[in-house]
Amino acid sequence: MNRAIRRVGIGVTVLIVLLVGQLTYLQVYDADNLANDPRNIRFQLRDFSKPRGRILTADDQILARSVETGDELKFQRFYPQGGLFSQIVGYQSFVFGNVGVERTYNSELAGRDPLLQIRNVGDVLAGKEPIGNLVLSTSALLQAAARDALGDQRGSVVVMNPKTGSILAMYSNPSYDPQPFASHNSQAVQDYDKLLRADPDKPDLPRAYRERYPPGSTFKVITASSALGTGRFTPETNFPQLTELDLPQTNNTLRNFGGQSCGGTLARSFQQSCNTTFGQIGLDLGDEFVPAMDRFGIGSAPPLDIAPGAAASAGPPPGSFQQNQPLFAFAGIGQGDVAVTPLEMALSASAVANNGQIMQPHVAERITDGDDNTVKTIGAKPWRTAMSPQVASTMTTLMVSVVEGGTGRAARIPGVSVAGKTGTAQNETGAAHAWFVGFAPAEDPQVAVAVLVEHGGSAGNEATGGQVAAPIAAQMMRMVLGR
């Protein structure tokens, strides 16, 4: 009898421990996920029963605010800028939950952040709900300029401060209006969602940080940096003059753009964007290439503060060189297994601009209380060390030569030294994508940029990165620099 009672007691104790553990997990570790789950009606009703903080641009334009509705859900979000900022701001939806910075900074906007509670302790004691406002680093002026520069062309523009990681503009075309998602009419919200999902242009896809593309020759920034970082290559390392490169393990070749013959020094090859040289570098690096890419974040997702987050870029698998050497040659020119977001390429340019250091990208600048007093500042944090300061200095010189005398002349700005790299990326779905990445001023970088125009935009099959993407990049950099 005592043995049976002991077994029952042990069983009951184990069940109690499991129950306490489950409750602790739900109430502590998983509390935020439960609070933001769109199926959690109690939390949803709580958040819709009171006003929510505003979201503003760096130049003081309102992107989101709460308005009274008079129905059971007392408040609804209003998005006065429509599709201009929807891929950053997102929306607050009773049907689908929160997306974008509306989700990332939900606790701050709803006034539940501890710093806001402490700052407004008097209001809390008086029964008044505190709220927090979110001020972004993005500029409405720059965002509109990016939209206008793309026009009807599908693509993305990312503009950032390479020293802090602050996103100054990030726009993709097409975009969508977030306002219908904020409706309290559930059927209307679901119908709008179905409409967007049925659109083949995917307007609800934030291409700048959620869609991956072959980067083409802009990836030569990473290839050249990786080569220089080994110490076995210098800008004066010579390569043969070729029209095509024989690929090992196959009868295929890698050809230069337009069938031209090129080669010579690494510096000259970079300026002229010579495929055969950089395909050979990819082969020479072999299995060293993948960890070098990893230092730029290739294979990882940048820690962007926009839910559901940035997509991870991709490259050849680690340790796969001996099994598939041609893919490393194609990786050297940004083709084959390489796939990146425009954000990733802006970060790669920023690495060169910031002495080899990549900062965490972020769109939030600070949190303010209901009286617009700053409560929290989103500071600069390092993410990756891509290269040494010495390699970054050499790469800056190489990138300046591209704009001054190579394929990136259309990115020149009078009186400003611009560093850049063009790309014309082959893909399986149509005409080549046009790319440009760069920064300025080269001697003291204040702005880094990545521009992608899908399938060459209006230029179609005749497009190059230097012709289509570089002028857009120059326009954005001129605006940031006041030129």
- Residue with more model confidence, 29 or 182: 182
Which position among 139, 156, 183, 217 bears the catalytic label? 217
pLDDT digits 0-9 by tens, 389-404: 999 999 999 999 999 9
Q: At what angle do helices 289-296 and 275-285 cross, to 10 degrees?
A: 110
Mean pLDDT, all residues of the chain? 92
Give the pLDDT score at 303. 97
Residue 458 vs residue 30, higher pLDDT: 458
**In terms of Cα–Cα distance, which of 483, 434, 448 is closest to 150?**
434
Cα dihedral 411, 356, 228, 444 sign:
positive
Q: How confident is the model at residue 70 (pLDDT cuts 50, 70, 90)?
A: confident
Look at residue 196 in the predicted model and tell me its pLDDT: 97
* Interval 325-352 mean pLDDT: 98
Edge-to-edge strand ranges of the sheet holding 447-453: 167-173, 155-160, 447-453, 430-440, 419-427
Mean pLDDT of 442-470: 96
Single out the residue of 285, 267, 273 nearest to residue 331, CA to CA: 285
Low-confidence winner among 224-238, 249-263, 324-338 (lowest mean pLDDT): 249-263
Q: What confidence score (pLDDT) does residue 2 get? A: 66
More confident residue, 475 or 21: 475
Q: How far is CA 379 from its chain centroid?
A: 18
Strands, DSSP E only, in 288-443?
357-359, 364-368, 374-377, 382-385, 419-427, 430-440
Average pLDDT (54-80) is 94
Would you state the pLDDT for residue 483? 77
Confidence of residue 44 (pLDDT cuts 50, 70, 90): low
Greatest pairwise CA separation for the chain in angstroms: 95
pLDDT bracket for residue 31 (50, 70, 90) = low
Confidence of residue 115 (pLDDT cuts 50, 70, 90): confident
Say how many C-beta atoms besides its own lie within 10 A of residue 192's C-beta. 21
Per the annotation, the verdict on 217 as an active-site residue is: yes
Residue percentage of the chain with pLDDT more than 90: 81
Which residue type does 434 have?
A
Mean pLDDT value across residues 194-204: 96
- What pLDDT, in 10s, does the model give residues 410-453? 999 999 999 999 999 999 888 999 999 999 999 999 999 999 99
pTM of the model: 0.89
Residue 17 has pLDDT above 80, yes or no: no
Q: In this model, does residue 215 exceed pLDDT 60?
A: yes
pLDDT for the residue numbered 258 = 86
Pairing of strands 382-385, 374-377: unpaired
Return the amino acid letter for 54.
R
pLDDT, mean of residues 2-23 = 72
Pair type for strands 238-242 and 133-136: unpaired
pLDDT at 120 over 60: no
| CB atoms near residue 381 (< 10 Å) | 11
**Residues in Cβ contact with 6 at an 8 Å cutoff, skipping those fewer than 6 apart:** none
By C-alpha distance, which of 314, 311, 366, 322 is closest to 338?
Answer: 314
Q: Is the confidence at residue 8, as pLDDT, over 80?
A: no
What tens digit of pLDDT does each residue of 121-147 get? 555 554 557 789 999 999 999 999 999
Residue 96: both structure tokens together: 């689908």
Residue range 207-212: average pLDDT? 98
pLDDT of residue 164: 98
What pLDDT is recorded for position 355?
A: 98
Per-residue confidence (pLDDT) for residue 118, from 0 to 100: 67
pLDDT at 291: 98
> Amino acid identity, residue 374?
T
264-317 residue pLDDT tens: 999 999 999 999 999 999 999 999 999 999 999 999 999 999 999 999 999 999
The CA distance from 344 to 336, in Å, is 17
Residues 173-195 pLDDT 10s: 999 999 999 999 999 999 999 99
Sequence-ordered list of residues with C-beta below 8 angstroms from that of 71, at least 6 positions apart, any chain? 184
Other C-beta atoms closer than 10 Å to the C-beta of 151 total 12
Q: Decide which of 98 and 4 is more confident.
A: 98
Helix axes 342-353, 289-296, angle to 10 degrees: 90
What local confidence, expressed as pLDDT, does residue 121 receive?
Answer: 54
The pLDDT score that the predictor gives to residue 38 is 52
